[in-house]
Structure formats: C-alpha cells, structure tokens
Amino acid sequence: MRQQNLIVIGNGMVGHHFLEQLAESGQADGFHVTVLGEERHIAYDRVHLSEYFQGKSADDLAFSTADQYAQWGFELRLNTAATAIDREAHTITLDSGETLPYDKLVLATGSYPFVPPIEGNDREDCLVYRTLDDLDAIREAASRSNTGVVVGGGLLGLEAANALRELDLDTAVVEFAPRLMPVQVDEEGGGILREKIEELGVQVLTGRVTQRIEAGTNARHQMVFQDDRLLETDLVVFSAGIRPRDELARDAGLTMGERGGVVIDDHCRTSDPDVLAIGEVALWNDSIFGLVGPGYQMAKAALDTLTGGDRAFTGADMSTKLKLMGVDVGAIGDAHGNQNPGARFYRYTNGIAQEYRKLVVSADGKQLLGAMLVGDNSYYDTLLQYALNGLELPDNPESLILPASEGGAPALGVDALPETAGICSCHNVTKGDIVQYVHDGYTSVGDVKAATKAGTGCGGCAGQLKEIVDHEMAALGMEVDNSVCEHFQYTRQELEHIIRVEGIHDFHTLLKNHGHGLGCDICKPAVASILASTWNEYVLNPEHVGLQDTNDTFLANMQKDGTFSVVPRVAGGEITPDKLITLGEVAKEFELYTKITGGQRVDLFGAKLNDLPSIWQRLVDAGFETGHAYGKALRTVKSCVGSTWCRYGVQDSVQLAIDLEHRYKGIRAPHKIKFGVSGCTRECAEAQSKDFGVIATENGWNLYVAGNGGMRPRHADLFAQDLDTDSLIRFVDRFMMLYIRTADRLQRTARWLENLEGGLDYVYDVVVNDSLGIAEDLDNQMARLIENYQCEWKTTLEDPEKLKRFRQMINDDGDDPYVVTVEEREQPRPATAEEKLERIPAVSV
C-alpha cells in the first residue's frame, strides 16, 4: 500500500499531541509524515513557559526529542516555515524555496500575540511573550532595564507581568478595559484581583489606551496615553490577546472566519477536505479556543478523520482555574451571566480576605449556569461538577460560596505568597510543591516534610511550612490540628493562658494536669519560653533545665562542630576601647574565631563546652553581660550614630538604642526580637527591617512595627508618629507583651501581625486606645519582667552546681578529642570531615 504523504505544519503543543496520538494509534505506517516547525525548539510546554524564568531549561520543557520523532518514523524539520499552500498541485512551499507534495495536510500553526498598531510599537525592547526565544529576548532586555510595562491585563499579560517582577523590574500592567482579566471576571472580581496584584508591587493601570511609544527621559521609552499621561519604561511586553496564524490558509483561499481563524467542521476539516486544522488556528462554531485542552481534543478528532475513527470535536468547556501571581481566579461556564437571560446571581465579597465569589443560577434557581472565583479556588471543583453535570442545586445555593468554616478567615500571610515562592531553600521546595502534596493527601506537617524534605535542612523554614500546610488543609476544608505537639492538645496561646491563669511555674505540673506522655523537643522549649516570659525565672533552675534547647541550656549557640559561640551584649553597638581589648584578649587566650556580626556586636566562635565558664568569667569581670544570642529573646538594638556626631542626626539615637536594649534584654518571647533606631530619615540603622523600628524626627520618634529581614523580608508598618520617648516606650511595652502572649511558637512579629485578625488597626486600638481594657495588665506584666532581669551568665558563674553542667564528660575533664580546628585566614575554623580523618586518632567505632 502506498503511504500517504502527511504534512503537519507547526510543531507546537497541539501539533505535537496529534503526532504522539498518531504514533500511539498504531496507524502511523499508513503515512509518510513530515513535520515543519518554524521555531528552533522541538515542541515544548508553552503552558508552563514561565517556568523557563524560574530555572527550567528548554530541555526540561520539551515534550520530546528528535530521536523520539525518528523512532516514530516522522521527519522533523525545525527552523523551517511553510510559506504557501498550493491546493491544486497538492504541494506546499518552504521558506527555503523547496516544495513538498502532500496528500493530507494538518495546519497546527497556533496563534501569535497581537501587537496593537500604535506608533513606536517596533521600538527596541518592545517584545512579546509566546516562545522560548521571546523569553530569551525579555531576559536579555531585562538585564539592561529597571522598569517594565506589560500591555494587556488578561491571563497572559499578568503572567508576563509576574515574569518581569521576578526579573526584578519595577512592573506595571496597562489594560485598555476598565479592569483586569475582563474575560474571566466582572468589575467587583476585577477590583479584588487588582488589589491583590498591586499588593505584590505591580502597578495596575486600567482604562488606558496607549497612543504611542516614544523615547523616554529617564527610561528608554515613554508610553503616551490618550489622556496625554505618560509612563516611562525601559521594556514593553505586548500581551493584548492572540490572533490565529491563519495567513497560509487565507492565501490558499480556504474559508475563514470574519475575525480570522480557519473554519473547521466537527471533524477538523477545513473547506478543503484534504486540509485539516487543529489548535488555536482553528475556528469552530465561530470560536477560537485559546486553551490547550480543546486543542488536544481537536487533535484526537483530526486523527480519527484521517484514520477512519469516529471521534469528533463538539466543543469544549472553557472553564478555567488559574493561579496568577499567587492569586486564584476561576471562571466556570457563563461566569458573567450575560448569555442566559433571566439568570440570577449570588455574590460573596470578603474585602478583608480579598475574596470574591459569584454564582450564576437559572431563573428557577435549580441549575448552576456559571461561577466566578477570585482569591480562593478551593470552591472550584465542586462548582464545576454542578455546572458540567447539570446537578440540581441545593436549596440554599449560596452555601456553595460561603466560607467553609466560620472559625475565622484563612491566614493571609502565606496566602499572599505566589505558588512559586521558595519556602525551603535547603531543599528547593516551593509553596506550590507543598500545596500539591497537601492536595495529594499528605495532611500533616510531618508527612509533607518526609515527602518534600522541606524543613529537614537548616529547619529555618519550619514555621512557614506549617503555616502553608495548615492553610491549605483549611482551604480544603480539612480539620487543622493546631496543637503544639502530640503531648498537648493546645495552641501556644492556650498554653500561655493556662499557665498564667493557673499560676503554673513548671513543665511537670502543666504536663500532669493538661497533657500526657513525657513531652518532647517541640513542647518543652515552647513551654520554657512561656514560663520565662510569664515569670522570668532563671532558665537553668533544675525544673527548667531539661526544657531548654541546647543553646539555652549552655547559654551559648552551638556550632556545627559542637563548640559554642560567645556573644556578649554590646548595647546599641556602642563599645569602649577597653572592652574591645578584653574581647581580643579573651579570643586570643581561648583560641576563638572572631567576627563582627550583622547585629553590631562581636561573636567569638569555637568555644569548648568546658571553657565556657572561664570565658564568661573573664567577660563578666570586664563588665560584659550575656547577649542572649542563644535565646528567643531580644537580640540587638541596632543604632546609627545619630545627632551626637552625624551632621544630619536630629535625635540621640544611640542613647535611645542603649536604653531600649537594657529595658528589654533577657525577656523571652515566641521568637527573637530585634530593634533598630535611626537618628534621621536616612535610616542608617535599617530600623524598618526590624521587629521594632524607631526613626528620629524633628519632633520625636516614629515607631515602626513588625519588620523582618531574614527569609521573608517585610518592611515594618508605621505605627505612630512624632512620639515622645515615654509614649514610645509605653507603646513598645504593650505591643511586645501582646505579641508574647498571643503569638504562635517561633512566630516573629511580622508573621504574627500578618496572621492576626484585624491586623495593625486592631493592635493599634488595643495598644493606644486600650480597646480591650488590658493595657494596665500588659504594662504590669512588662514591668515585672524588666524587674526580674538577671544576667544568666553571672548567675550561673555564682553557682558551682550549675557549672557542673559545663562538662563534656563527667568522668574526664579533658576536651572533646573530636573537636578539631584548622587555621584559615589567620584564625581557627572547624576541620572538615576529611581533615578530621587525618587528625583524629583511629577510634574503634
């Protein structure tokens, strides 16, 4: 039997799917297949194109390889475009001039990004977002740019905007319609979507018609809008919709749609039965389907048309569920409700959680015609089932879009993170990965940890990991267990209440009356912290000693080689030359590695357990106190030099920093606490990245709260302005006490505030207006904590019993022979495993 010549023009997603289906159908032998692809890459996953910017390579995204095509017996010609079809001669012409004969032709040429015909649209760095090559061009241009604008606020536009944002450009989206994603969402939904996207730092300009693009003053270009307003930008990406790549078909005289697209029937045949069209180039029932699902269905129908099967294309559901910059958007069926006269609506708007949901139901209230979701797609699957299967709606359809549990809105903190946000940098796990595992049934932090390895490296991401797992589980309607651990069925806050109300002073009593088992490394330090911040007793009292993390037990931070670091307090970063000399002498005597920390003090590393008391004796004698680098407690108050020396300083920031540091030192909290005090608005102390930031003004101090550096930086929020020192301190006292009482374990102020219902306004009300009537209580508790301060090292040195703990071995006073250092840059550092092998005498292990 003679093989038919089958030519497939276009090696995109749908064309590839067609070929894969053909190969798998076992009927490929009937055809001599030639595949033409204009791009230089073999078909790849365009839907996940953006992942190219997140580290995926072209190979990762590719669906196949040239070898695979060869094995299938298909001739693949990449970098080759068809330029004409001669239907009479049954040939096509290539850009090389070559002609190829065909018996059957499949058009799978997809579509191209529409670039509005505005003056200047061809300027340098005016790009589109469709192919790998486009992304290469964007990346290259971005490396030379500070700002970027996406023209078009639809699905692809927002995806492009996210990419620009992730390329560190100041990004704006310009949309011609009055709202974002006009196809998927209505005005109200668009408003919420806009808020969410603006919160991610992307500027949104709607209802803007770009007149022209011309040379800019500060940036490469400026966009001129119809109202003559200007927007400067270095880079422009057009994403103003797609147009079918139908030029070959048009030139060949095939029947076309009014607004483009090659008309096909249910069997994907064009007006010429020897020419088929599939994917985004095809127009079926007056519709172009800009999604890959319908394209795949067309590919299957076309295959059957060629091989005598009976699958036909009869339309496709265009419901979509997306996550754009971490924002859920869902549109089901007639989401706007404008295709069904008489349709009725239910709407749910939550301006706090930024969620919007809408149901479109039939006039009799029995059928779901459509639905729209912004902010939370967890409702999508159920709604889709109702719409697709025509299920009869319950009596109160609104229940389908009301929050599943009245028990409070889901945490906004992690919710606002995009799916792609890296959570665990040790094991490269994103929020999306974690969410996926939860959706796949890994429904405890432990399960997700085991599956993703997130949290098993440095452990620094544990808090966020738990937040995401809890949040996702809550979103899925599953019960979230907020117990501290298996030994207590209580949250940290509940335990705090119990301890305070019942006046409990030790772990044992708490466990006996309110928990079970022996406790563990989660609940013990958590309870130790609560006990400390409630009663502020010496942490090494016998009843507390076993509760403390190693660092607290030995009042020093353990390092990777088992030795410890020593960090004396240097309040405000101010230190006398004599004290500096002492630090140097101690470091020399005990052979310690010395480093200036990021917190304006000095860290001495490599102290052996049995040397810690002698080291501290020297330091205490010289007037140093413990710096609590080991504790979940106040760390440092960073200061700048302020009005004393600096020509710009307007207040004495050093004095305030020292005062604050001495006031709050030693207070145990759910997590560490940092302050910064800057002497003027230039902010050299980086106060806005601290839990408490203070910036001097002409009239006093501005107080900022809940900033964070570290893993997920957060700019502090302005809490109050132009405060005198007393008010400042009063507000900090109360704010801190409220945080200590109500935060979860290992939750910094930033995450606490983000997750707190009512947010900053609520706290302000409690702290400043005493809305809960607890201000006095908070003041008193703080006063008691301050009063009970002691330098733990000083106390320890006075008690020989306590000092007994600082022995590596009870029956040997020597050092641990396994601790080995080598010299580097004139200081000691821990030996590597290999270096150790050479230096430690062989041991029978």
Partner 1 sequence: MTQQNEWTHVGSKADLVPGAGIGARVGDRQVAIFHIPELEQSLFAVDNYCPISGVNIIARGIVGDIQGEPVVATPLYKKHFSLLDGRCLEDDSHRLRTYAVHLDGDQLQLAPQDQGQGAAA
Ligand X SMILES: Cc1cc2nc3c(=O)[nH]c(=O)nc-3n(C[C@H](O)[C@H](O)[C@H](O)COP(=O)(O)OP(=O)(O)OC[C@H]3O[C@@H](n4cnc5c(N)ncnc54)[C@H](O)[C@@H]3O)c2cc1C
The binding site for partner 1 (CB under 8 A) comprises 450, 456, 459, 486-487, 517-521, 523-525, 542, 545-550, 553-554, 558, 560-562, 804-805, 807-812, 816, 818-819, 833, 836, 843-845
Indicate the residue type of 62. Answer: A
CA-CA distance, 264 to 283, in Å (whole number)? 6
354 binds, among partner 1, ligand X, ligand SRM, none (CB under 5 to 8 A by kind): none
Q: Which does 833 bind (CB under 5 to 8 A by kind): ligand X, ligand SRM, partner 1, none?
A: partner 1
Give residues in contact with ligand SRM (CB under 6 A): 460, 557, 559, 565, 567, 595, 597-599, 601, 603, 629, 635-636, 638, 672, 674, 708-711, 748
Shortest Å distance, C-beta 707 to partner 1: 28
> What DSSP character marks residue 604?
E
What is the bridge-based pairing of β-strands 368-374 and 327-333? antiparallel
Interface with ligand X includes 625 (CB under 6 A)? no
Would the CA dihedral through 180, 185, 190, 196 be positive or negative?
A: negative
Smallest gap from residue 748 Cβ to ligand X (A): 35
The letter for the amino acid at 627 is: G
CB distance 234 to 241 below 8 Å: no
Site for ligand X in 60-79 (CB under 6 A): none
Contacts with ligand X by CB under 6 A: the residue count is 33
Applying CB under 6 A, the span of 79-87, 194-202, 420-428, 597-605 interacting with ligand FES comes to 420-428
Distance CA 194, CA 180 (A): 7
Tell me if 108 contacts ligand X by CB under 6 A: yes
Work out which of 128, 138, 156, 604 binds ligand X, going by CB under 6 A.
156
Dihedral, 478, 479, 483, 488 alpha carbons, nearest 10: -130
Among 7, 15, 373, 567, which residue interacts with ligand X (rule: CB under 6 A)? 15
Among ligand FES, partner 1, ligand SRM, none, what does residue 271 contact (CB within 5–8 Å per kind)?
none
Cα separation of 760 and 765, whole Å? 9
Work out which of 248, 586, 677, 687 binds ligand X, going by CB under 6 A. Answer: 248
Q: How far is the CB of 784 from ligand SRM (least distance, A)?
A: 26
* Window 457-476: residues binding ligand FES (CB under 6 A): 457-461
- Any idea what DSSP says for residue 214? E
- C-beta of 110 vs 525, nearer to ligand X: 110
Calpha distance 52→240 (Å, rounded): 21
State which of residues 318, 404, 426, 820 lies at the interface with ligand FES (CB under 6 A).
426
Least spacing, CB of residue 257 vs ligand X, in Å: 15
Examine residue 454 and tell whether it contacts ligand FES (CB under 6 A). yes
Question: Are 737 and 782 in contact, with CB atoms under 8 Å apart?
Answer: yes
Taking the C-alpha atoms of residue 588 and residue 762, their distance in angstroms, rounded to an integer, is: 52
Distance CA 7, CA 306 (A): 12
**Distance between CA 51 and CA 35 in Å, rounded?**
26
Regarding 609 and contact with ligand X (CB under 6 A), the answer is no
Burial of 663 (0-12, 13-18, 19+ CB in 10 A): middle
- Does 292 bind ligand X (CB under 6 A)? Our answer is yes
Q: Which is nearer to ligand X, 87 or 805 (CB)?
A: 87
424 binds, among ligand X, partner 1, ligand FES, none (CB under 5 to 8 A by kind): ligand FES
Please, which of residues 166-185 interact with ligand X by CB under 6 A?
A: none
User: Using CB under 6 A, which of the segments 102-110, 363-371, 552-560, 721-729 binds ligand X?
Assistant: 102-110
| Sheet (strand 104-107) strand order | 75-77, 31-36, 4-9, 104-107, 275-277
* CA distances from residue 471 to 3, 330, 478 in whole angstroms, order as listed: 58, 19, 10
422 forms part of the interface with ligand FES (CB under 6 A): no
Is residue 691 involved in binding ligand X (CB under 6 A)? no
Q: Please report whether residue 615 would count as binding ligand X according to CB under 6 A.
A: no
Site string for ligand FES, 635-674 (x = CB under 6 A): ----------------------------------------
Q: Report how many residues bind ligand FES under the rule CB under 6 A.
A: 11
H or E segment to which residue 199 belongs: helix 187-199
Here's the x/- map for ligand FES, 756-795, by CB under 6 A: it reads as ----------------------------------------
With CB under 5 to 8 Å by kind, the binding choice for 461 among ligand X, partner 1, ligand FES, none is ligand FES
> Coil, strand, or helix at residue 740?
helix
Site string for ligand X, 396-425 (x = CB under 6 A): ------------------------------
Two tokens, residue 455: 């949290």
- The conformation of residue 554, written as its DSSP 8-state character, comes to T
Figure out which of the listed residues 425, 576, 681, 780 binds ligand FES, where binding follows CB under 6 A: 425
> Which entry of ligand X, ligand SRM, ligand FES, none binds 635, CB below 5 to 8 A by partner kind?
ligand SRM
1 contact, one of ligand SRM, ligand X, partner 1, none, CB 5-8 Å limit per kind: none
Q: Is 37 in the site for ligand X (CB under 6 A)?
A: yes
Residue-wise over 571-606: b if at least 16 C-beta within 10 A, else e? bbbebeeebeebbeebbeebebbbeeeebbbbbbbb
Binds 273, which of ligand X, ligand SRM, ligand FES, none (CB < 5 to 8 A, cut-off by type)? none
Phi/psi of residue 531, each to 5°? -60, -45
Per residue, the 3-state secondary structure of 256-312, as one string, reads: ECCCCCEEECCCCECCCCCEEECHHHEEECCECCCCHHHHHHHHHHHHHHHHCCCCC
Helix pair 132-142, 155-166: axis angle to 10 deg: 40
Least Cα distance to 507 among 474, 489, 529 occurs for: 529
The DSSP H or E segment spanning 99 is: strand 99-101
Positions that interact with ligand FES (CB under 6 A):
424-426, 454-461
Positions that interact with ligand X (CB under 6 A):
9-15, 36-39, 46-47, 49-50, 81-82, 108-110, 129-130, 156, 159, 245, 248, 279-280, 290-293, 295
